[in-house]
Amino acid sequence: MEKPGYWRSGLAIAVTAAIAFTACTPNPASPSTGPSASAAAKRGAGETLNILYWQAPTILNAHQATGTKDADAARLVLEPLASWDKNGKAIANALASEVPTVDNGGVAKDFTSVTWKLRTGVKWSDGSPFSADDVVGTYTYQCDETTAASTFDVCEGVKSVTAKDPNTVVVTYKDPQPFYFQWGVGGSTLILQKAQYANCLGTKAKDCPADQKPVGTGPYKVNAFKPGDNVQYDLNENFRDPNKPFFKHVNFKGGGDAASAARAVFQTGDVDYGWNLQVEAAVLKPMAQGSSVGNLVTVYGSSIERLVVNFSNPDASLGDNRGEPSTKHPFFTDIHVRRALAMATNRQAVATQLYGDGLSGKATCNILTAPEPMNSQNTTSLDVCKFDVAAANKELDDDGWVKGSDGVRAKGGVKLKILYQTTVNSVRQSTQAILKKDWESVGFSVELKSVPSSTFFTNTSPDGANHFWADIEMYTNSGDPDPTSYYASGWSTGQIASKANNWNFGNYGRYSNKDFDSIVDQLRKETDASKRNQLAIQANDLLIKDVAVIPLINRTFATSGIAKSLKGVDPSPWDSEMYNIADWSK
C-alpha cells in the first residue's frame, strides 16, 4: 500500500536544514543609542511593525535564551541598565539615567565597582513601580548557578549587585575588571521584574510560566506568544518616554529560511525587518541592490574569522600528552614556517568569492578590529599580511625546508603536513579549498577536516576546537567593547587549554609569549582611554607579526533587510539588533 511520503523526505530536509542553521554563527546581542527618530514621531502613530526571523523565538526571557532570536524578541519588552552603541560605547537609552564613568565618579578608579543611577518614575508594563530591588533581583536570579542561565558568563567575577537606595545600584567585582560594564550593559543583563520571578529562582527556573510573558519596562509588551511561531506585542502605555514607541503593534514572526526571508523584504515587501539574511552573496547582492522596497543593513564589529595556529603537538602517538602545552609542534614553533603559511594565505580571494567582498565580510589582517580606535593601522604594510607565494617559497627555502618528490617540503625528517579543521558549513569548506590550493603550492601538504558545529564548540569532543588535535583550525570569535578578556583568554599563557583545566580555557593554540602577557597585564590596570587604545593595538600587532593567529575575514554582524520606509534602525555589533526599537518609526 502506498503511503504519503512527506514524512520521510521531511526528516532528511530537517536534518540538512538544522546543520545549515547551526553552522552560521549567531551574533551576540547588545544595544546602543540610535539617532532619534524624526521629531514628529508620536506614540502609537504607526500601525503594525512586521519583523521576520527565520529562526523563531521559543522563549522571551533573555536569560534562558538559546539564541539571538530569543534575546532579540525579549529586547522589545525587557531592558538592560544601558545599551551598547555601534562604536562600543555604553549609552543611557535604558534604565540608567546616565552612563557611569571614572570622571563622574560612577566607576571606581581601580575598576572594582560601578555605581548606577537609575531613572526615576519608571513603571513596569503592569503599572507597578520599577526600583533598584528589581535589578538586584535579576542579579540574584541570573547569577545563581542552579538557575542555569545562558547569560551566566556576565556573572563571572561579579562579587555583588546591591541596592544603595531605590534609585542606585552598585555592581562590585571580585578583582579589578577593566570591562566594568560586563554586568549591566547590553543584552545579557536584561532586567526582570522581581515580583514576577519570585517563584522562579534556582531550580524552579526551568518551569517558569513568566518566561513566556515577561513583564518589562521596554517600549512594547507581550500580547500573545506562540513559542516557535510568533510573538505579538502591543505598545506599552507605561513606557517612560511619552512620545515612544511609534507602532501600536509589533508582529514578530519566526520560521522558514533565510532565502525566503530575503525575498519577503526585498521582493514582496511583506515584512519591514528581515533578520540575518545569510544567503549566498551571489544571490543576496542582486536581490538587495535591485529592490525598490528594501535595503540591506550591515554593521562591522569585532567578529573575526581566523586561523588558529597550534603551538603544541597534536600527534596521536603522544598518547596522554597529545596537545598538552608541554609538547612542541614539530614545525609551527618555527616562525619562518608560520610566516610562510601567512604569506600563502589569500584572504582577499576568500572575501571576494565567498563573502561578497563587503556584503557579509571583508578581508582583514587584524585580530582586533573594533572599537575603531583600537583597530590597528600598522598591519596592512606587514609582509605576513600580503598574499605573496614567491615570498612564502623564499622564506621556506632560506630556512632549509626542501621540497621532496611529492612536492611537500621537509627538513630533518619532519614534513610540513597540516591537518586543517573547521565546522561543517559551505562557506567554510569553500574557504578551506581556496587556502589549501595556495598552501600546497608552496610545499605544505594539507588535509581538510570538517566537524559539525555542535561538536566543534565543545570542550568534551576530541574533534573540538578546544582539544585542537589538528594543526590549523578556523572559526569566528568576537570580543567585548573592551578587549582585555578577548586577548587574555585567547592568547595569554595563563589561559592555555589543556587536560588539567578540562580544555575549558580559551587559548586553544597554546600560544605563550611573555611580551604579550605583559601587555595584557597592563590592560587590566590602565585607566587612561588613549593608552588603552595603544595597548590594544600593540597586542594586535604583536600577535600578527608573530603569526600566533592568522585573521582572515571581518564578518558583518547584523546582515538584515529593512523596508525603505522604516526609520531609526541602527544596529550595533555589541548589542541586540532590537536595542533601539523604541526609536524605530515609519
Question: Closer CB to another protein, residue 439 or residue 508?
Answer: 508
CB 96, CB 116: distance < 8 Å: yes
- The piece of 9-17, 106-114, 190-198, 319-327 that touches another protein (CB under 8 A) is 9-17
Q: Roughly how many angstroms between the first and final C-alpha of the chain, as a whole number?
A: 56
CA dihedral (381, 384, 385, 391) positive or negative: positive
Site for another protein in 124-153 (CB under 8 A): 145-150, 152-153
Is the peptide bond prior to 245 cis by the omega test (within 30 degrees of 0)? Answer: yes
Residue 582's Cβ-side half-sphere holds a number of Cα atoms within 13 Å equal to 26
CB of 502 to another protein, least distance (A): 8
Selected from 44, 67, 157, 462, the binder of another protein by CB under 8 A is 67
- Distance (Å, rounded) from C-alpha 199 to C-alpha 192? 13
Site for another protein in 155-184 (CB under 8 A): 156
DSSP characters for 3-16?
---HHHHHHHHHHH
Question: Closer CB to another protein, residue 2 or residue 103?
Answer: 2
Selected from 78, 90, 114, 271, the binder of another protein by CB under 8 A is 271
Site for another protein in 68-97 (CB under 8 A): none
Cite the DSSP H helix spans in 120-269.
Answer: 132-142, 258-266
Q: What is the dihedral of CA 363, 365, 366, 367, to 10 degrees?
A: 90
Q: What is the dihedral of CA 305, 307, 312, 318, to 10 degrees?
A: 100
CB of 251 to another protein, least distance (A): 8
Nearest to 77 by CA among 204, 206, 182, 224: 224
Question: Closer CB to another protein, residue 27 or residue 445?
Answer: 27
Site for another protein in 280-309 (CB under 8 A): none
- The piece of 22-30, 88-96, 133-141, 565-573 that touches another protein (CB under 8 A) is 22-30
CB of 414 to another protein, least distance (A): 33
Based on the shown chain and the rule CB under 8 A, indicate whether residue 398 belongs to the binding site for another protein: no
Selected from 477, 485, 540, 556, the binder of another protein by CB under 8 A is 477
C-alpha cell at 198: 519570585
- The letter for the amino acid at 442 is V
Question: Closer CB to another protein, residue 18 or residue 529?
Answer: 18
- The piece of 57-65, 374-382, 391-399, 553-561 that touches another protein (CB under 8 A) is 57-65
Site for another protein in 193-252 (CB under 8 A): 203, 205-209, 211-212, 224, 226-230, 232, 251
Q: Which residue has the cell 549609552?
A: 91
Rg (CA), the chain: 25
- Distance (Å, rounded) from C-alpha 35 to C-alpha 155? 31
- The piece of 21-29, 108-116, 168-176, 556-564 that touches another protein (CB under 8 A) is 21-29
Q: Which residue has the cell 618555527?
A: 334
CB of 73 to another protein, least distance (A): 11
Question: Closer CB to another protein, residue 36 or residue 461?
Answer: 461
What 529-533 contacts at long range (C-beta under 8 Å, 24+ apart), as own/partner pairs, is 530/373, 532/178, 532/374, 533/373, 533/374
Question: Closer CB to another protein, residue 29 or residue 299?
Answer: 29
Residue 512 Cα to chain centre, angstroms: 25
Question: Closer CB to another protein, residue 11 or residue 414?
Answer: 11
Question: Closer CB to another protein, residue 61 or residue 345?
Answer: 61
CB of 64 to another protein, least distance (A): 6
Selected from 41, 49, 56, 354, the binder of another protein by CB under 8 A is 56
Nearest to 282 by CA among 363, 354, 351: 354
Name every residue whose Cβ is closer than 8 Å to that of residue 535 and which is 6 or more positions away in sequence.
Answer: 519, 522, 523, 526
Q: What is the dihedral of CA 124, 129, 135, 139, to 10 degrees?
A: -70
Residues in binding contact with another protein, number by CB under 8 A: 78
CB of 459 to another protein, least distance (A): 5
Name every residue whose Cβ is closer than 8 Å to that of residue 275 and which is 6 or more positions away in sequence.
Answer: 51, 52, 53, 54, 69, 72, 261, 558, 560, 577
CB 165, CB 179: distance < 8 Å: no
Fill in the per-residue mask, 428 to 467: x = in contact with another protein (CB under 8 A), - = not in contact: ------------------------xxxxxxxx--------
Q: Is 136 helix (H, G, I), strand (E, B) or coil?
A: helix
C-alpha cell at 188: 545579557
Selected from 157, 176, 256, 358, the binder of another protein by CB under 8 A is 256
Question: Closer CB to another protein, residue 346 or residue 485?
Answer: 485
CB of 561 to another protein, least distance (A): 14
Question: Closer CB to another protein, residue 9 or residue 405?
Answer: 9
Question: Closer CB to another protein, residue 100 or residue 490?
Answer: 490
- The piece of 41-49, 54-62, 163-171, 439-447 that touches another protein (CB under 8 A) is 54-62
Q: Is 274 helix (H, G, I), strand (E, B) or coil?
A: strand
Question: Closer CB to another protein, residue 44 or residue 452?
Answer: 452
What 2-8 contacts at long range (C-beta under 8 Å, 24+ apart), as own/partner pairs, is none
Question: Closer CB to another protein, residue 27 or residue 236?
Answer: 27
Selected from 140, 162, 267, 295, the binder of another protein by CB under 8 A is 267
Selected from 160, 380, 430, 502, the binder of another protein by CB under 8 A is 502
Selected from 10, 166, 404, 494, the binder of another protein by CB under 8 A is 10
Selected from 263, 306, 409, 532, the binder of another protein by CB under 8 A is 263
Nearest to 417 by CA among 453, 385, 449: 449
CB 181, CB 82: distance < 8 Å: yes
